[in-house]
Structure 1
């Protein structure tokens, strides 16, 4: 399980349009007169309020992954409320979700400059570098965030993932355990300990971790499928098939080996998973789930 994910346009658009209209969108006069332009007084507080309202809209759209609609609102919000670090943080997060890493870093750096003590900005910068496979840099940002918020479970988890990708497996497990110590129900960290143990040849230890993760969240498809694969490799095929079908009915993305690799599944587990998903019973479950998904898509 792996989680978490430019230049700023000049102030154009709404403000400029209002200025132009105030000066030129006037009724024509019967007599030729020299027009004396009036300076338009912009209410900074009102503009900032509008910016924050746009940011809220962008955040709501982002929650539904409607990034093409969210980004323009967030960009405008950053122009209307340029001194609000939360707006820049939101914009950086949206850029991260769309894999626009340069603009993500630029926006997050602005947020960092406005509020150096915001740990979440450090974590987000870590996520940008992690997605760029710059794991050492990512670890540095996660550690900086944890200095500000030392008991953050997700920050500890993210640092564990960075250590995992750097091959520092004992350090990764230590961070995952710290995350669980802060949140007993934080199954992704327990799941990832299982991933490491399986690659180390400790299938029994991995199975225990995944069983614990599943007990914490019955709808967590990842540990459920990992458990099924491990049980199948051990010879418990009937139970493995039932668990695997259940996992793929929850989320059939886990039938994709590339998706699993992105979620830090190692070579040993991927090899066993490939064998497992080729089973006729598993293939039937995958096809059934895909058929259901296609029927549910709007025409």
Structure 2
């Protein structure tokens, strides 16, 4: 065994130990659980970038096995899912994939890992996903009845409205469950990539540049998907096509189109701020605040920029 292999194994073991420690922190101090979910995958990605795919896989397996022995299968599965993203991120860095491939491959890996976990959980526990919704609605009905008994001012109409609201939310979540997981996996992968790039810069690793968000331009058909989702969701009843399948497809198209247009709007707003020389820290604070408070405004901005190319106009004024 040469010196290079020894160093790679030592660094992999060190990162695995960090992953176990952060898992312990997330178990006993849940408020700091984000450290395990963000730092561990980024560290696994750095191992994969520096030493190769097999070392990042070994690190993930070690973290998973030790977490299972120390904290139980549930916590180990959670940590393993997120660490798997780090494996894909490290492979993308080392093999110099383009930005789209570096973002999508780890996201797809995480999506299928979550799907496998759901299937495995169903096999072990025997709990069907279809039973979760009715159970939540029953609990909401019980809460409404208890509230009416405790507070006589609550009317039956208000209680029914609460239960109906829970029913709609459960139906919507059920229809868009896997699309929501796919979008969440993509966002999480992007955050992991950015953390790994920061770590790589601090460690002076040579990592191929990742396209800055200001330069992202989403395909214009994203607006078309968003429009189809709106038409299907709100207009199906007018043409007597409001069956569950059409509604479910429309909801997924609506969510996917909303996400694509939001990303384009986010990138456009970041580019506009850059053109006006807003400091990097202030720019990201404003962007996240705007996203939290005016998320639908980003969708509108994204659609407008797709068709009218507002960025070029603001860039000319900014400079």
TM-score, normalised on structure 2? 0.29
> Please, what TM-score do these two structures have when normalized by structure 1?
0.31
Larger RCO: 1 or 2 (CA < 8 Å, sep 6+): 2
Larger radius of gyration: 1
Q: Please identify which structure carries the higher helix content.
A: 2
